[in-house]
Chains A and B, each alone.
Chain A
């Protein structure tokens, strides 16, 4: 019984918060202002508790598995959710259905927790669905906007499609091996043609969730239509969690098929980086821009993942931690501007520095980190991904990854140029930033600067991996 509480503490805590929210909602009478503070406080507690009682172990006959690294991954996701609750404070306060939004978000988070802890394909599939369907509802949360419903529709259809493929793959793999357990499966795998098809199906399902090219087509539209809070949840938390479980299944379950998945990974990674970067070049809407940039970032994550080593694992987890800070900072700034002025185009940012130096610097730091420029943490994150990818001595692959950094720098600099260099008579007016938003932005900026320089953070992750 004790095991249940220590091993599943992250899941139980999130469930508890969902219930508390439910009661608060039914009870009514609490203003959004206060309620948001309560939620933020609960999420903070949730994050803090995440660092205690880290034990390794499995439950329910191996269905649920956790260890220190998985708990750390959950903490990264918790941190992201806490930051989201702070960054979009203005939007939350005005929203009529704020508790519902958080309930959906936390349900999705619960699904992700179960997903990265899953020890067999059954729990994996169930939790993946739990992690997806609430997100579709979140995407639909701008109730008065048609584009939001359209995005939700797109998302639910495409993820239903990918779930179908995934289920088909799982059923075939069960047919071949007679088991759904992650631990028993590797011994039973062999390189038969059927097995390769199965693997491709499973890979495709993951690729859908991670928006790897050519399964990325839903991404930009969904990001654009969703409210900022949902977009950032999708691009950071959702991606992060799928990347974690993807890596775990590749390294643990599909180890016998290493040669196959390495090649697939390399091809898709190259395609993802190039297509993501090329499409990002021409975007005008900041949301679409960040959507394609996040596609390109996934390409880089795959570079690190392809190394099939503990240093690769550490590099990916580390990168996602950094990515959480930098991407959320970028979304936070964009949301603060869009909320007050309704402007979401990169051209609207011209001359932003004259009126909003704080937002401009946070945005610049975030973009430099995404582009991988020192001294921001993104530099270390990308460098370690590339270094672990290079351990396979595949220089063609590494050179393409390195060259892609130039392309990505170009479009990140486009935004920086608009903010700092272009003159504009009608620059965006002074933005009133909510105090908690400001605090969260400062946190993100601090994360972007210090997570890289303080090398013990990486050492800690490496020691877990």
Chain B
């Protein structure tokens, strides 16, 4: 299968959006493009599994390499392993849902969908890049669409949030840039190619400097504590689809980068800094959970809980065991789907009640059964109910963390586990206040979900349930890839 299709399709969709005339056509073109991409992602999954079943054990499949700026030894090198496939699937799910949810956008529809598709283009490109240069290129492509989406279509303190997000992410990419150049000049080969670099032994001194640069740089994108501060503002000010993309896809760019670039290229650096990562992520998990307790605004609740959940991803990465790492990747997918669903539902509720404050709502179950049911499912997934994706991934991370027998890791694991209790408290409270109880006055005539909203929710629900009930297809996809990374680490151990 030709992977360039994954980039070309959004590009064609984006251009088509610019060319068509009215808003209705724009929406349908965007939906057609997103659906085609969705089908492509599913086909990719099967093609990938088939290739693996046929005994192809090379690390990356469907590799393609075109010369691009040969003077700098840069090539347009793309390819996928199981982790990339999982992330591409996640992106495809969220993009379709995001396009559907935004059906009611009336202000500058064309620009909105254009930026949305451009954002997805950046994500797809990022997940299939095997060259640091194009990885960086796609990472930064996504920054401006985010800025404009929040700044133009957002609500609340949107300009502040958009600025904060753009500058912090730019700061993150500045660190990535320096780290990347450090790797480039570390060997006489002068290569940005991930496959070439992973075969080299990068000198320990270089790893000591470049690992933190790259990890923190990508960590800013993935809400690594204490660089998470753009998350609450950005998420809560963004339009619905914007929040879904931000939390569902963009934050995963960061954690994926940490894994793919920082950890797998520099295992020694990872060993050295693992404890710091664990401490930071444990703080993020607990701090995020407790901060969520204090929030009254549904979007802020989900944003802070995202900080907590993304902390779990970093915890899984920092543990440097195979199980925990697989769990971290699963958590990326699971959190992406779950949080996108959450934001979608919040958007639907806000559109009807015109408030995001939990205490101003009540009894919504009576008037909009579908929306509130979905809210329940998203919430339960967030607090880790068995049968939904959240449970599987968090459990895997904890099991992987428990493999370390020393006190430090034990304490971190227990602290992280404790966050689940806190999560249950704030989720149940928020959902309870919103959906249960007597119906507040003025909400009697609210409509339940329309077809597009139902479809969006169902798409994401399918993903969540599919992972929750049958996690094996996902673990089987991810495991070989994490095993390769762990091999490099265990050699050093």
Among A4-12, A195-203, A395-403, the one that faces the other chain is: A395-403
Q: Assess the A387–B72 pair: CB atoms within 8 A.
A: yes
Q: Mark B420-435, 1 if CB is under 8 A from A, else 0.
A: 0000000000000000
| Interface status of A57 (Cβ within 8 A of chain B) | no
Whether B480 is near chain A, meaning CB under 8 Å from some CB there, is no
Residues of the B chain whose Cβ atoms lie less than 8 Å from the Cβ of A145 = none
> Which of B70, B133, B136, B167 contacts A459, CB < 8 Å?
B70
- Nearest CB of chain B from residue A162's CB, rounded to whole Å: 34
| Residue A390, interface by CB 8 Å | yes
* Cβ–Cβ < 8 Å partners of A265 in chain B: none
Q: Identify which of B143, B152, B175 contacts A373 (C-beta below 8 A).
A: B143
User: Is A421 engaged at the interface, CB distance under 8 Å to the other chain?
Assistant: yes
Residues of chain A within 8 A (CB-CB) of B143 are 373
Q: Is there an interface contact between A413 and B147, defined as CB atoms closer than 8 Å?
A: yes
Identify the stretch in A27-35, A336-344, A404-412 within 8 Å (CB) of chain B at 4 or more residues. A404-412
Q: Complex Cα distance A459/B151, Å?
A: 38
The answer to whether A379 touches B151, judged by C-beta atoms less than 8 angstroms apart, is no
Interface 0/1 of B150-170, CB less than 8 Å to A:
011000001100110011001
Q: How far is the CB of A363 from chain B (nearest CB, A)?
A: 14
Chain B residues lying within 8 Å of A403, measured Cβ to Cβ, are 171, 174
Which residue from A368, A410, A416, A458 sits with its C-beta under 8 Å from B71? Answer: A458
Scoring A residues 307 to 334 as 1 if CB is less than 8 Å from chain B, else 0, what string do you get?
Answer: 0000100100000000000000000000
Interface size class of B (residues with CB under 8 A): 35 or more
| Nearest 9 Cβ contacts at the A-B interface | A402-B174, A462-B71, A390-B181, A421-B151, A455-B69, A406-B170, A374-B140, A374-B141, A374-B137
Judged by a CB distance under 8 angstroms, whether B209 is at the interface is yes
Complex CA gap A379/B178 in Å reads 15
| Chain A residue at minimal CB-CB distance from B213 | A399
Select one of B70, B136, B152, B171 contacting A406, CB under 8 A. B171
Query: 0/1 per residue, A364-381, Cβ < 8 Å to B?
Result: 000010000111000110
B159–A421 touching, CB < 8 Å = yes
Please give the residue numbers on chain A whose beta carbons come within 8 Å of chain B beta carbons, in ascending order: 311, 314, 368, 373-375, 379-380, 383-384, 386-387, 390-391, 393, 395, 398-399, 402-403, 405-406, 409-410, 413, 416-417, 420-422, 455, 458-459, 462
Q: Closest Cβ of chain B: how far from A418's Cβ, in Å? A: 10
Partner of B181, one of A387, A406, A416, A462: A387
A311 touches B159 (CB 8 A): no
Q: How far is the CA of A401 from the CA of B179 in the complex (A)?
A: 13
Q: How far is the CA of A417 from the CA of B20 in the complex (A)?
A: 26
B163 and A398 contact, CB distance less than 8 A: no
Q: How far is the CB of B400 from chain A (nearest CB, A)?
A: 34
Verify A395–B178 contact, CB threshold 8 A: yes
* In the assembled complex, B144 has its CB within 8 A of some CB on chain A: yes
Additional pairs, 19, CB under 8 Å, beyond known A374-B137, A379-B137: A311-B71, A311-B72, A314-B71, A373-B143, A383-B136, A391-B185, A398-B178, A399-B178, A402-B178, A406-B170, A406-B171, A406-B174, A409-B166, A410-B167, A416-B148, A421-B151, A455-B67, A458-B71, A459-B71
Cα-based distance from A386 to B143 in the complex (angstroms) = 20
- Please tell me if B177 contacts chain A, counting CB pairs below 8 Å: yes
Q: Is the CB of A395 within 8 A of B166?
A: no
Q: Which residues of B contact A311 (CB under 8 A)?
A: 71-72
B152 touches A420 (CB 8 A): yes
* B453 CB → nearest A CB, Å: 27
Pair A459/B170 contact, Cβ less than 8 Å = no
> Which residues does chain B contribute within 8 Å of A416, judged by CB atoms?
147-148
CA of A402 to CA of B214, assembled, Å = 14
Taking a contact as CB atoms under 8 Å apart, the answer to whether B163 and A395 are in contact is no
Complex-state Cα separation, A417 to B144, whole angstroms: 12
The reply on B184 being an interface residue by CB < 8 A is yes
Q: Which residue of A383, A384, A405, A416 has the most chain B CB atoms within 10 A of its CB atom?
A: A383
Q: Which A residues are CB-close (under 8 A) to B158?
A: 421
Interface string of B177-193 (1 = CB under 8 A from A): 11001101100000000
* Docked-complex contact A375 and B137, CB < 8 angstroms: yes
Given the contacts A383-B177, A406-B167, A410-B167, A417 and B71 also touching, CB distance less than 8 Å: no
**What is the CB-to-nearest-CB distance from B270 to chain A, in angstroms, rounded to a whole number?**
20
State A218–B158 Cα separation when bound (angstroms).
38
Residue of B136, B138, B163, B184 near A417 (CB, 8 A) is B163
CA distance A398 to B136 in the complex (A): 17
Q: How far is the CB of A52 from chain B (nearest CB, A)?
A: 25
Once the chains bind, are A395 and B209 in contact (CB under 8 Å)? yes
- Report if B68 contacts A (CB, 8 A): yes
B177 touches A386 (CB 8 A): yes
User: In the complex, what's the smallest C-beta–C-beta distance from B26 to chain A, in angstroms?
Assistant: 15
- Complex: A455 Cα to B67 Cα, angstroms: 9
B72 proximity list for chain A (CB < 8 A): 311, 384, 387
